[in-house]
Amino acid sequence: MDATAIDSVALNFSATSMTVLNAVLAVVMFSIAIDLTPSDFRRLLYTPRALLTGLASQFFLLPALTFLLVLVTQPQPSIALGLMLVAACPGGNISNFITHRAGGNAALSVSMTAFATVGAILLTPLNIALWGGLYAPTREILQATKIDPVSVAITVGFMLVLPLVLGVTLRAAKPALAAKLRGPLQTLSMVIFLAFIILALANNWQNFKLFAGAVALLVVLHNALALAGGYGLATLARLSPYDRRAVTIETGIQNSGLGLILIFAFFGGLGGMAVVAAFWGVWHAITGLGLAALMNRTRAAR
């Protein structure tokens, strides 16, 4: 397949589609946030080892492993940058549900998602710029698009942090209302999100078929590295099996929806990047649920 053709293809993604995806992600983040209280954050500050291990796994280990994967496999530039961008995103919004299904520390998972979301304002644009800039082919894309880290930070803030703050505030002020909203909001947002992905794939089916073979193996390897890296670091940090499950899943479930927003907002929907993020969005749900079913066979010691 011609590399120029791959890197020059832009997928169809309208302004309306962008607005819908932004709204869905905001609702998902809000539904997670109304399950949190300020005491959840204070408690983790007194016992921070598991939280710090999870954040280090997400924002430092995974981007470094991704860079090594790119160096070894040397994929097309847009595909390589897509992998780096996904690795730079915080944990995915389905990680909390999957951690619960796996019999892991769901409270830790929710808190990691919250802290990672806030940290993503700074760390996501920095990781994209750092690792993308270290690899010559992806550095050319970054220079051509003239990415502004401040703009990326603002986008992340509005999409993730604002709903997080509003959700925590609602929980503190109206706990009964928050409890009633949580379940329906999470179900509705996930159904809409899945429907959105299906429609987006349908509108770009020809391009997806063209790219799928080029990204499938890389995404599978990338996701496996993420899960193995999270498990390995949690083991080295001597976390309990209960916490280790949360860190493993939080590292292997990335917010590919945010990745898609950044790709269409700042990279013009560059084909290789967008298909990597879309494929990640499907694959990490499959591996996450499969891993949860396997883990749930045995009770994790706390």
Q: 20 pLDDT exceeds 60?
A: yes
The CATH number linked to 39 is 1.20.1530.20
**Torsion sign across C-alpha atoms 174, 175, 176, 178:** positive
pLDDT score, position 285: 82
What pTM was computed for the model? Answer: 0.84
Mean pLDDT to the nearest integer, 220-247: 95
Query: Which pLDDT band holds residue 6 (cuts at 50, 70, 90)?
Result: low
Domain span at residue 43 reads 3-295
Nearest to 285, CA basis, from 223, 229, 231: 223
pLDDT score, position 10: 58
Query: Which residues are bridge partners to 254 per DSSP?
Result: 91
Q: Token pair for residue 222? A: 């990338």
Please write the tens of the pLDDT for every residue from 87-99: 999 887 678 778 8
Mean pLDDT to the nearest integer, 271-277: 84
Mean pLDDT to the nearest integer, 137-163: 81
pLDDT score, position 96: 78
pLDDT score, position 127: 95
pLDDT higher for 210 or 277? 277
pLDDT score, position 149: 75
Nearest to 235, CA basis, from 90, 34, 71, 53: 53
Q: 5 pLDDT exceeds 60?
A: no
Q: 297 pLDDT exceeds 70?
A: yes
pLDDT higher for 267 or 237? 237
Q: 175 pLDDT exceeds 90?
A: no
Domain count, the chain: 1
Nearest to 69, CA basis, from 53, 94, 86, 52: 86
Query: Which pLDDT band holds residue 193 (cuts at 50, 70, 90)?
Result: low
Q: 4 pLDDT exceeds 60?
A: no
Mean pLDDT to the nearest integer, 280-300: 86
Please write the tens of the pLDDT for every residue from 120-137: 888 999 999 999 999 999
pLDDT higher for 14 or 77? 77
pLDDT higher for 186 or 219? 219
Nearest to 63, CA basis, from 78, 85, 80, 82: 85
- The CA-atom distances, in angstroms, between 293 and each of 198, 201, 246, 298 are 25, 27, 14, 10
In a domain, 301, yes or no: no
- The CA-atom distances, in angstroms, between 165 and each of 77, 117, 130, 161, 268 are 36, 11, 28, 6, 30
Percent of the chain with pLDDT over 90: 32
Q: 14 pLDDT exceeds 70?
A: no
Q: How far apart are CA 164 and CA 116, in angstroms?
A: 11
Q: How far apart are CA 89 and CA 233, in angstroms?
A: 19
Q: Which residues contact 183 (CB under 8 A, 6 or more apart)?
A: none
Please, are residues 220 and 83 in contact by the beta-carbon 8 Å criterion?
A: no
In a domain, 85, yes or no: yes
Convert the chain into a string of H (helix), E (strand) and C (coil): CCHHHHHHCECCCCHHHHHHHHHHHHHHHHHHHCCCCHHHHHHHHHCCHHHHHHHHHHHHHHHHHHHHHHHHHCCCHHHHHHHHHHHHCCECCCHHHHHHHCCCCHHHHHHHHHHHHHHHHHHHHHHHHHHHHHCHHHHHHHHHHCCCHHHHHHHHHHHHHHHHHHHHHHHHHCHHHHHHHHHHHHHHHHHHHHHHHHHHHHHCHHHHHHHHHHHHHHHHHHHHHHHHHHHHHHHHCCCCHHHHHHHHHHHHCECHHHHHHHHHHHCCCEHHHHHHHHHHHHHHHHHHHHHHHHHCCCCCCC
Mean pLDDT for all residues in the chain: 83
Q: How far apart are CA 279 and CA 209, in angstroms?
A: 11
Percent of the chain with pLDDT over 70: 86
In a domain, 302, yes or no: no
Longest Cα pair distance anywhere in the chain, in angstroms?
57
pLDDT score, position 11: 60
Please write the tens of the pLDDT for every residue from 53-82: 999 999 999 999 999 999 999 998 989 999
pLDDT score, position 61: 97
Q: How far apart are CA 155 and CA 60, in angstroms?
A: 21
